[in-house]
Structure formats: structure tokens, C-alpha cells
Structure 1
Amino acid sequence: MKDTFLLITSFFLLATVQNNVALAQQNLSTSGMVSSSSSVEGQEANFAIDNDTLSYWESTAKDTEPWIAIRFPGATEITGFKIIFQEGAVPNESVHFQYLLNGDWRSHHLVKENQSDKIAVNFEKVLLTDRVRLIANDKQTLHIAELQVVGQQYVDDDAGEVKPLLVNQSGYNLGRPKRFTAPGVPDKTPFVILEKDSEQEVFSGLIKNEKGDFSEFDPTSTSEYLVVSGEKTSFPFRIGPYWLERVSYRPMLDFMMGARHYVGNVSEIRNLSFAWRDGDFFNWAMQSLVALYASNPSAFERMEITGRYQSNASFPEEYQGLWGVLEPFRENTPDIVQLMHWDADVKVSQKLDHEMQKAELAHFLYAWPFLSRWLPRQNFDRVYAYTQSVWTKGTVSPHANSQYDRSPEHNLLALKTQLGSTKGEMPPGFSVIPNLMMYEVGKREGDPDAGMYFDAAYRQLEWMITHLDWEDPMTTKGQRMSEHITMRAFAWFYQEYPDRHPEGLKEKVEEWARIMVERSDNLWDFRKYDEDEWTPPGWNETGNILGFPAAVFAANTILGKDHKEVPRLEEIAWAHFENAFGRNPTGRQFSFKGPEEVEGVDLGWYSRHKGGIGLLEELPFVFDGSPKNFHYPNQPEAGNLGWTEGWVQFNTAYNTSMAYLANYYTRLECRQSDSGVLIIRLEAPLNFHKDREEHGRVWLTNKAGKSIPVELKEASPFSLALEGRVKIQDSELSVGAHVLRLEENDQLKVSYGYGFFEKKVTVNGD
């Protein structure tokens, strides 16, 4: 996948940089933060960058690979370095000058056979980075009076002007947190919201900690608005009942339809690709699609159908057998179900047995009760048989694997203690939900051994409660776009098995919440990597920002609405959506084509990656890039620096967040009037457009298990809710052509959503 190829392109940190600015060369060491592998008391690392050759840093005698590192406040053009060893000390013969790339230190210049107490090196090519270190490789102690790094602060001519007030350029949801960032603006500075066309003031407030909040502003209007403070202004934006869902739902599916391997908008066979181009084995596509559909089915069932079945038999010989084991879906199958069918078909047809791949099939099997009206029973039987046959298989077939595999073994009942890297390929707890799903599927299918799946999930979560250290960023943000899987495992177990989950679950989540709130105390409400780092050093972490809200909303369902951290966590979750739509140091939405594709977006990402394994650049709704560590806390002048390339994994993280967002705010109510009318009210992301009446469907089910659908319609053009009424008469409910008979003392269930995301209420059927 794309990050490995940074070394090949040499674009990210090591580059020949053009003269972007004409600044004098200077010693930048004093502007940085210094650290070291060790130090003798009284000779700490800061003495090596204090411009005083009489003071010095000394590593300890036991430190056989001593190093000193400097982190600069932003991206820096380095043209050389100078070392002055402590007067009277024996200089080191061999040292490496290194830079950080994707979390690893890479050697840039080697000094060897040195006998001098001063070393000066000028680079032939400029090194572009935000951190360097000097490490001795001669096993000797380092005594450094001065380490001078020569260069200049990097400024990209193409950075462009950034608005002084940063907002979600597209728009905000009614009734939800709405915030903006005002870098450098003093506390208690007034701001106002203006209606753009009339310039009328419609809201006012005060800036605090370089942020403004207008969450209480909930207009019922299609107007554009501006944030204004003195001479400073923002991009225009709108506010609507479900604005984020309105601009996302259809493009999300269009991206997934086009990103399919073999049959998407590109038919070329690609490496590191299975069901999705550049998807590898850890794209989490199936679970993101199942979650989306289960959380808000009416939104996806009412969409225009754009997909069609493509027979494997009609493709050239080299494509034969890559899909086609599953029988085709039925006519009028929604696009989102077509996508699930495609994913399962490729996995079973190719007999993909990597533990991540076969774990994804559990989501398809779990979802079968609400997929079965679109798909033939053969689909379930074939997937179930295959999944059962490989679930405990400890090895992986070479054709189902890649160089990113870190799994010690592939038995999904085994305890998983291996922690993945910042690649995102093995997040803690990835087997918990799949095993719980297989438990439910097994019970449904009468499997006498179904309990083994529950036991494996229990052991895994118990281990996570005991061993995961939330202070270690590799258990959270360090998992990159896959982080959401961990907290979702906690939520699934807690919600579905409230009396059977391991002890300490809620307390573990409370600890997580506290740390996430602490790490988000900044002008962007942005959850940092750790106390010092904003993002995983060197990585394009776009998917983490897009997927983090899923983790927050999952955690909040455990904490409960009255928990002290929940309101702040909601703000943080929404701030990450805002970050993706322009409330960030670059002032840009994450998609290069954002202005032409996303309603309301004014400024998209600087560029897009053309080619790559995924060939994604021509697809809609590609999340191309996001601010890097050196852009934070507010260095927009770094501009288009760092790796840029869309990835299916970024979009599936966003899919998952949108699913958990819908679930978190969906509310279902039903009451019976004195005249025997059922009054049903549903709050769900379904009312997108003022100029059309929008509908959704709930289900009424009696004690005998028979169900009929009930259509609801929006209560008003700007309402968050849909409403409907059903008359109970002569012991039956009649809705159009559907009739539901009621027995004496019958009980009715009203439901919306499916499986884990089902919302339901019960009423007496008198």
C-alpha cells in the first residue's frame, strides 16, 4: 500500500526543495525541542543547543547507542549540520545524522573515521523534515558542546491564503455542536454570525481559548452564514437538519461502488487488492457497510439504484474465478446491499483465509435476517459453510496474504495479544465483534458449539481490560484509521450482553474518555497523538480523523448521557468532522475535488495522487490528505507537504463513523391516543431537503412475530423527526395493503434499524 512507497518517491521527507523563499541560512537548533537517550546529571541535552560551547551534553557510560534528537516547530529545510565536541573529550569516530520517516529513524549522512573535535557537513540536497537526531554507532559516549542544524523554516509558495476563522465549510447539523477556530484571537473577543446575503446579525458570542461556539444557533433557513470577528471572517456555510449526512450518504456509496476491484470504475487487476482496489486484508469494508445499513436502513433503501450484477463469466480468462461463487442478488437490490454481496462473493470465491478477511464474513452472516429479502439463501449457506471451515484455521494461504501481515497465527478463537503498527493492520480487539456475531449466528442456526465464539470474545475483551494502556498512543491514535475497532468492541459487548461482560469494562472506558478529553484540550478540539505529538509522526492519518467519531459515539453509549465527559466528547467527535471539512490549520477540506463534489465546500485539498495501487483519483468523495504534525498547532505555511493519496481504508473509517453517528442520535417513540391511534415519531437522518417531503419506514411486529411496514413522513421541512399514525380497529392494524392481526393482550413492537443498531419500543395492542 501507499505508505511503503514513500521511500521510492522520496517526496515526503527527503527531497530536493526548490527555492520557495529567500531566507538566510541559520542555526535552527535553538528553535527546537531537544531530547536524548540518556544524560549525566548536570549535563542534560538542552546544553547541546544553548549556543554556549562551555556547557555540554553527556550521555551515560551504560548507554551504548547514545543519541540526541531535535524536533522543530514545523517543517524545516536542512542544508547541513555542525558538531562541536566537548573540549578535552575524545571525539566520536562514527556518528549517523538521521531524520524521522513514518515513525522510523532513517540515516541521511554517516560520518566515519573522525578524529576532529569539530565536524561540519553541507548537504548536496536539502533535507525536508521536522525532526532529526544524531546517534553514535561506535559504542562510545557522546560529549557534545553544540549541535547546530543549519537551514531555514520551510514555507510553501503554494500554501495559499488561509481564512483567519476556520469553520466546517460545507455546513453544520441542527441541534448539534457547532464550533470554529480563531487562531491568535484573544479571549473575550466578540464574534457574530451574519446571514451572508442580508449581512444581518443573527447570533453573537465571545471567543475563548482561540475558539468560538454557536451550538445554540439553530436557524430554520437555507441561508448561508459567515462567522465574523472584527475584520476577520470565515468561509460561508449552511445549517440543516442532517447536513453532514445530506452531503455524504450518496457520495459514500458512489466511492465504494467505483473502488471495487475488477468491476469498479477501473477493471485492471491490481496487487495488494482483493474486493477493493488497494484494500489489502484490513480495509474493514464489510463491517462499515453493514453498520451503515443497520443504523439507517430507510436512507439507503430509498436511494437510486446505480449498480448491477456483473457476471464473472463475461470477463477475460485471467479474471475467471475471482468472484461468482455466490448467486446474483435480486432485481432492485439497494446499492449498499450489492456492495456487501460483492465483498462476500470475492472472499468466498478466492477462499481468502487471512484472519481479518474471514472475520469480515461474520458481519455478512450476522446481517442475513435483514439482507435475505434481497439475496438468495444460497448466499448465506455458502458463506456460512466457508466461514465455519476456516474460522479456527491457524495458517493463511499465500494468495490471501501480503507483506503487511503481522498475525502470529490466524485462528480467530485464539487470544490476540499482538499490537499492530501505525499502518493500521492489527487494532486491539478486532476479533471481539466477529466472534460475538458468530455466536449469535450459531444460536440462530442451532449450532451446539456456538458458545465457543462467545468464550473467545470474552477472553479477548478481558485481556484488553487488563493489558491495554490508554496512555500509550499505540493503543489508540497509533492504530491510525483502525482505532475505532477497539472501542466498538467494548460497546458491542456492553450493550448486547449487559449481564455477561467482563468486570471492569465501564471503568476501562471511563479511563479512555478522560485521556481523550485531556488530549483534545486545544484550539482545534483535536485529539492529539500524545502530550507532545499532534499526529503519528510522518503519516497521512486522514482515516484516523474520519474514524475517531465512531470510537467516541461507541464509548458514549457505555458512559451514558449523564456522565460528565459525554458532552465534551460529543464536541470532540463533531470537531473531527469539522476538521475534515476545513476547520484545521490548512483551512482545507480533505478532498481535492471537494469544491466540485461536496455542497458548500470552498477549498479542497492541495493535490491528489494520480495512479498508485488503488487508481482512485477519478472517483467521487476521495479523502486525499489531512494536516500533518508540522501543520499543527497553526503553521499553514507548510502547505502541501507530506504524503497525499486516497485509500479505501480512509473512506470505510468515515462510513463507520457515519453509522455510529446515526445510531447515537436516532430516537424512536410510540404512544397510543385515547382514540386508539398509534402515534409514531422517529428521529433519524432522513430529512435532508426543504423542498421535498421525505419518508422513512418503521416496522410493527406482534407477539407472534408477524411484521408490517409503516411509512412515516417528515413533521416539517426543518424537523429532525418523521411521524406517522396507525389506527387500531377491530383487533387489527391496517396500513395500506398490509394487515396485522392482534390477539387478546397482544403487545406490539415498533422498530427501526437492524441488529445491534435496532431501536425499539413496545406498546399494548389493546
Structure 2
Amino acid sequence: MLAFTLLGTSSALATDVNLAKGATAIASSHQADYRADNSLDQVVSDDSRWLAAKGDKTPWIEITFPAPVTVEAVDVLSGWKSDTKSVLADFDLSLEIDGVWVTVKAGKIRKNTEVSRRVNLSGRKVAKLRLEVLDGGFGRVREIAVYDSNEAEGAFVEKSQAQKASSDVALDQTIHQIALNQVGYQTAASKRFTAPLSGDGVAFAITAVGRSEVLYEGEIQAHIGDFSDFRPADSDTHYVVTVKGGKLKAHQSDPFLIREAIFEEQYWQSAVDFLIDSRSVVGTSATAYGGCPWRDGVYYDAIIPALALFYSANPELVNAMPHQIDWQAEQARMLAPGFKLDRKEPSDGGALQATKDYYGMEPPLAGASDVAKLIHWGAGYYLNHPVTRDPSRDPLPGQIHPQTVEQVAYVLWAWPLLKNELPQSFYEQCRDFCFANWEGSLEVSEWWDPASYNTVEDVMGPSTRPDRRHPFKGRHAPGHSIVPNLIMHEVAQSEGRADADKYLNAAVKQAEWIIENLDWNDPRTTKGHRMSEHRTIPNLVWLLQKYPKQAPAGLQDKITEWAQIAVSRSDNLWDLRRYDMGAHWTIPSMNDLGNLIASPAIFLSASWVVEDPKLKSRLEQLSTASVDNIFGRNPRIAAAPAHPEKGFPEVERGWPKLFPNNRCARLERCRGTISSLPGSEMYPFNPKGAYRHPEGWVNYGAAWCISLGYLRFDASQTTPELLKK
């Protein structure tokens, strides 16, 4: 018998719960023991499925829920496992709402070839769901799963061999476990590892791989080994840590590098590769989940600002990268008469036309870097298709969001770098678009107010609020408009406009509001904004550094207070800034990779303005620890990329839980995708704890570029500079 296993869901979001569990099913007919209720038994198997009777020309199966539910996604697993051609090719999914059957366009599936087909259709107060097989097809359904979110991972995922190996072998509790950065460490920066089972005073030693000569020795203290003052000369040598002593068996770590420019050498190219591959329509999948320039992108993804900051941090490296984007070849492919999207996805309306319109624009100049071309793509797409809507239950309707306009402003900020790579007409279009649509960015958003925030209890379960995941989704980080307003102030000055001061005044007003209204002791105001926290602290620092005379009173104290609280929550064996000092090490329920991947930028920016040397040093240490956590210094002792073979060759063990390759944004097809990290369930050291959502996100890619940029700024003792024309 071939069967899938049902992955654990003990800590899943409510949106990941299979609503079909507990429902009842009837069908037009069935064969022998292949009854309708087999399709709801949580087992995906050829031996446990629904088969319509032979001769049934119009087979159907109908599910009745115990109580009306919200439906956003349905997974239909059909056919014979051994014969993928036996899947349901043509079928309709209908919903009974308030006693009326409704069949929406999204529920009309034709020419399906997928064994597991995700159907995104939306309905509220759904009492029943009905699947009808069309055109005389044979009724074969192995399982039906229903979710109240189109982001739900799905309960039935076949495990890869790598996953099986990881899950079958529990982490050995009889040895000195060693969690460290599997890629390596920057020579001049903090270098620490965690030994979660080892006591104080246990010895560790560092050797080169394959050599016995001890190069460095130390002792474990509070489960941490620190070898920051081990600074070997640059080489291709791989090092290992060996820990031995006490009752546990000796153990050797994964190999790692120590190099002066390890961030640039190991991470920069894959960060660019990811944003090349994840482009909507033209990337590795001709789909456009979300309808933005990048698949599963949203108005608050900050990808254009990320690319601009990334580029400005090291222009020489960016311009030395290989040129992979062939704009003219992509133009020909997109404008070919027969080109079409692979399939319909939520909120992708207009994406294909926006792409075609983009390729009607004046192209990048000859020799443009891939980063410049990506900036041109992102902003150019928005110039042609500025109205977007986040499909993940955002209460805001489709519109030109202020954060979309703010993204485009970074083209103006980076123009001194871009002017030799992009046409002047592009600058003018971006400038005019920003000035015409800026009013919303002059205000303090109602969504910054903690009164609009949900509680942990809301996000863990039912809530009466329209967006129960705010602020944890990361949509509305306080202060996101501050730097964009400073950019527009300088642009307006350079253009000789009379209204230049209103942008500066708006930035100052927004900073004043943060000083007066946000209590950093409430973690929802800080880490609770997930990856988007990089729009708060770095923006406040930018204002303080670039406009010290205009900065509001108390701004430096406010940033210092943030730093003190962040440091106070980081005194643990992982050097991890916890969400709170209670039950939540990470943000509630959701994948917390986002905040960690943004943390280097957040910590380093704060370190530039705090005056206490010890506080500054600890912030620098925490910035490095965040990178280490992403690449293996965490309770699962696994790196965040689920597919390290696609851009992270030094990683020994990627994230054990995979997301399906052909679902949602299809980011698993991209090079450089970074997927997931432990949630509170695995802390302080419970490697068998439940996993969080394992899907990567382009917002993580943006945050990673920003952090890589800030790591470079810090190493070169520079800061981002405002536009100078």
C-alpha cells in the first residue's frame, strides 16, 4: 500500500487546520468498501479512497461540515497513486452558502493533470462542499482537504528522502550537541556556538578539518562557546569544533569557514538569484500569486528599497556579478502571441497585462547590472499596475497603497547609482508617480496604533477583528514612511519645488508619534512586526543621523530604550531576542524566520547611535547571532534553506520540513530561497517540537538583502547616504 503520512498539526495556525476533518460525506455511488467517507479519513491511499460505481456517468461527492465554515482553499487528491494519468481531469467544486449552491469560476477545473490539486475559491458560512466529475469521467478521490486560508501548507505532503532521514533519526541526547553557523563566520566579528546539553567548564577545541593540531581552546559557559578572538588568515580551510568532557560523549561540529568577507562571498549572489527567479510571470514560474512584481509579493514587501540599499552598500560587488537577465529575450518571450500564465492564482488579475506593458517601456541601458534591472522591473511593473491587494485576508481593498508608492521612491534615492544603467525617462516616470500619489504617506497610519493590534490569543485562535494576524503578518510597521518622506524632501529640493518642507515635516511628525505612542515593552510594537521591523528602527536612526537638528526631542533616548529592551530579552543560550520572557520565544504561531532575517539591519542601525559601549557591542554581537541562527545555530540544528543545493553549498543540513514545489508562489523552484526556522515549540532545546509553516517568502528575501547591506555598511564603517543630485 502506498500512503502519505499526516504531518503533525499540534501547533499549526488555525488557518492550517483541515476543516474536512470531522465532516461527513455522501456520494452518487460507490464501489465495495471505497465509500465516500474514505475521502475524509486523513489517509491518502489507494486502499482508502472513494471510487464511484462502474456505470455512474455523473459521479459526485458531497461534504457536510459540522457547522458553517470559511473556505479559502480545497486540496483534491485524486486518481491512482501508481497512474498519474488517472487523476480527475475536469470537475466542478460548488459551495452551499445559506442554502444556495454556488459554483464560482475558480471552482471549475479543466484539463487537470495534478495528483494533488490546490483550488483557491472563497466562501463564507459554507455548510456543504460538492465535487462533480464532468464529461463522463470516473470518480476517483483519495482525499479532500479544506482550509480557511489559501496560504495553508496542506496536511498531506509526501516526504522526501532527506526529510525521512532527518525525521527518522532523533537528535542524539547522549552526545555534546553543537549548534553553529554551518556556513561560517566573519573574521573580525563575533563567533559563538551553542552546546545545549553541555555544562559549564566543558572544554572545546577548534581544529582544521582532517588535522589534529589544536588551533584554539576554550570552555563552555552557560551553554555557549565563544571563539571570537580566533582570527585566522583568510584561506579555504574548513574548521570544526570538538566538545568533550563530563558524562556526554565527545562530538564534532559541522565544518565551517572563517573569512573576512564571508557575507559577500557566501550570501550576496544567492540573494540576487532568488529575486531573479521569484519574479512574477517571467521568473521560474509563469504565475503571479498576489499580482505584484514578485510572486507572493505584497505592497509592504520592501523589495525595491532592499535592492537599492543592497546596491548602495557595495556597488563594486554588484557590478562584478554575472549578468543573467537578458531583457530583450524576456521581452520577446512575454510579448509572443501564444504566451500565457501557467495557471490562475489569487489576486493575479492584470499581472500578465502589467508584464506585457512593462516590456513596452524603455529598457535598461546596455551593461546594466542585474540589481539595476530588478529595480527597473519592480518599479516599472508598479508604474503600469499600481493597484494591488494582499490576498492573505488583508482587510484593505485593492488600491494604490502608500507603501507601494514609497517603494518607488527608492529609485529616486538610488538614482546616482542607477543613472548610468537606466533611462532618464524611467527616473521621470518614478518621480511623477511619487509626487502624484504621495498624500497617504504624509500621515500617521491608523494601523501603527497598538489599539489596532491583535493579541497573542487572537492570532492563536478565533478573533472578531478583520485581520487577526495584525501586526504579526508584518503589513504596517510603524515609521515605514519616515525615510521615504526624507527622500521626497530631497527630491523636491533638487527639483526646486516649493513644497519640499512638507515631506521633512511629515517624517518628523511620524517620529514624534512613535516616541509618544509606542511602548517598546509591548513586543507587538517591535518583534511582533516580523520582518517589517526593519522599517521602524533603521528609519528612526536614519532620521536622527541625517537630520539631527530637525529630529524630535527624545528620539535618541527612544532608540536606546528599544536597544536596552532588545538586549534584555536576548540573554539566553541562543543569543536570540525572544518575543517575550514568558511562553513565547518567537512570534506566536507564524514562521519567525522573517524577524531573524531582518535583525542584523535592526540591531546594527541601533548600534550606530547608542552611546553605551557595552550596549553597542552587544547589539553587534546579536546581529551576528541572528545570521548564525539562520544557518544552524538553533534548536533544530538545521539551516533555514530547505534546498541548500540551490545557493548554499556550505550548508550541511537544510530545513527538514519541505513545502510542496508546485503550490502558492512556487518559491521552492527558486535559487536562494530561505524557508523556515524553529518556533517556540522547539525552544529552549526541544528539537522534536512541532514545525512552523515551512514556506519561504519574497518578503524574507527583501529583509535578507537589507540585512546584507547593513552588515556591509557596518563593516566598512559607513551608513546609507541620502540622494545627492
The correspondence for 1:434, drawn from 461, 484, 490, is 484
- One-letter code of the match for 1:300? V
- Give the percent of matched residue pairs that are identical in Structure 1 and Structure 2: 32
Alpha-carbon contact 2:642-2:655 (below 8 Å) kept: yes
- Residue 443 of structure 2 aligns to which amino acid in structure 1? A
Secondary structure of residue in 2 paired with 1:232:
strand
> 1:272, 1:345 → 2: CA distance?
17
2:649 to 575, 599, 616: 599
Displacement after TM superposition at 1:628 (Å): 1.0
> What TM-score do the two structures reach when normalised by structure 2?
0.68
Query: How far has the Cα of 1:618 moved from its partner?
Result: 1.3
1:200 matched to 2:213: yes
Q: 2:17 aligns with which of 10, 29, 43?
A: 10
Check whether the contact 1:159–1:636 (CA below 8 A) recurs between aligned residues: no
User: Structure 2 counterpart of 1:443, which letter?
Assistant: Q
CA distance in 1, matches of 2:298, 2:311: 23
**8 Å contact from structure 2 (residues 13, 590) kept in 1:** no
Instruction: Specify the alignment match of 2:236 in structure 1.
Output: 222
Q: Are residues 1:536 and 2:587 paired? A: yes
Q: Which residue of 2 aligns with 1:555?
A: 606
1:259-303 per-residue CA deviation (whole Å, 9 max, x = no partner) reads 1111111122x3413111000211110010000001111110111
Give, in angstroms, the shift of residue 418 of structure 1. 2.0
The answer for the alignment partner of 1:295 in structure 2 is 313
Report the residue type matching 2:423 in the other structure.
Answer: P
* Structure 1 CA distance for aligned equivalents of residues 723 and 236 of structure 2: 31
- Paired letter, 1:618: R
1:569 corresponds to which residue? 619
Contact preservation (8 Å) 1:197, 1:224: no
Q: Residue 110 of structure 2 aligns with which residue?
A: none
Residues 501-516 of structure 1 correspond to what in structure 2 (within 5 A)? 501-516=551-566
Matches within 5 A, 1:239-638: 239-268=258-287, 270-309=288-327, 310-311=330-331, 313-314=335-336, 316=339, 319-322=352-355, 323-324=357-358, 326-352=361-387, 353-392=400-439, 411-419=440-448, 420-532=470-582, 533-560=584-611, 563-595=613-645, 597-610=647-660, 611-638=662-689
Any idea what the Cα deviations from partners look like across 1:615-660, whole Å, max 9, x if unmatched?
A: 1111111111100110000000226x22110110111111111111
My pick for the range that moved more, 596-605 or 420-429, is 596-605
What's the secondary structure of 2:536's corresponding residue? helix
User: Which of 160, 179, 185 pairs up with 2:192?
Assistant: 179
User: The residue matched to 1:559 in structure 2 has which SS?
Assistant: coil
The more displaced of 604-613 and 340-349 is: 604-613
Q: Distance in 1 between matches of 2:219 and 2:576?
A: 20
**Is the partner of 1:500 in helix, strand or coil?**
coil
Does residue 164 of structure 1 match 2:130? no
Change (3 A) 1:314 1:383: farther
C-alpha deviation, 1:354, in angstroms: 0.9
Q: CA deviation at 1:232?
A: 2.5
Alpha-carbon distance in 2 for matches of 1:552, 1:195: 32
| 1:201 partner SS | coil
* Structure 1 residues 214 and 583: alpha-carbon distance in aligned structure 2, compared to 1, 3 A threshold: same
Contact 1:608/1:644 (<8 A) preserved: yes
d(CA) in 2 for partners of 1:295, 1:157: 40
Deviations 1:382-401 (A, max 9, x none): 11112211111xxxxxxxxx
Following superposition, the deviation at residue 484 of structure 1 comes to: 1.3
What displacement does 1:237 show?
Answer: 0.8
Instruction: Write the distance in 1 (CA, Å) between the matches of 2:647 and 2:18.
Output: 28
Relative to structure 1, the CA distance from residue 511 to residue 278 in structure 2 (aligned partners, 3 Å threshold; closer, same or farther) is same
Would you tell me which structure has more helix in proportion to its own residues? 2
1:181–1:277 Cα change, 3 Å: same
1:157, 1:357 → 2: CA distance? Answer: 41
Amino acid at match of 1:303: M
Task: Name the counterpart of 1:77.
Answer: none
Deviates more, 1:535-544 or 1:325-334: 325-334
Higher Rg = 1
In 2, the alpha carbon distance for the partners of 1:459 and 1:313 equals 46
Checking the alignment, whether the CA contact within 8 Å between 1:492 and 1:756 is kept in structure 2 is no
Deviations 1:707-748 (A, max 9, x none): xxxxxxxxxxxxxxxxxxxxxxxxxxxxxxxxxxxxxxxxxx
Q: What is the distance in 1 between the residues matched to 2:489 and 2:700?
A: 29
| 1:605–1:549 distance in 2 versus 1, CA, 3 Å | same
What is the CA distance between 1:414 and its match in structure 2? 1.3
Q: Secondary structure at the match of 1:638?
A: coil
Unaligned 5+ segments in structure 1 are: 19-155, 393-410, 669-752, 759-766
Long gaps (5+) in structure 2: 1-8, 23-40, 44-165, 245-249, 341-349, 388-399, 449-469
The structural deviation recorded for 1:161 is 2.8
Distance 1:602 1:579 in 2: 14
More strand per residue: 1
**CA drift at 1:564:** 2.5
In 1, distance between residues paired with 2:646 and 2:421?
A: 34
TM-score (norm 1): 0.64
Calculate the aligned-residue CA RMSD, in Å: 2.5
Which residue in 2 is equivalent to 1:755?
Answer: 721
**CA spacing shift, 1:183–1:11, aligned 2, 3 Å:** farther
Query: Aligned partners of 1:159 and 1:254: how far apart in 2?
Result: 33
Per-residue deviation, 1:159: 5.9
Q: CA deviation at 1:543?
A: 1.1
Asked if the contact 2:490–2:723 (Cα under 8 Å) also holds between the matched residues in 1, the reply is no
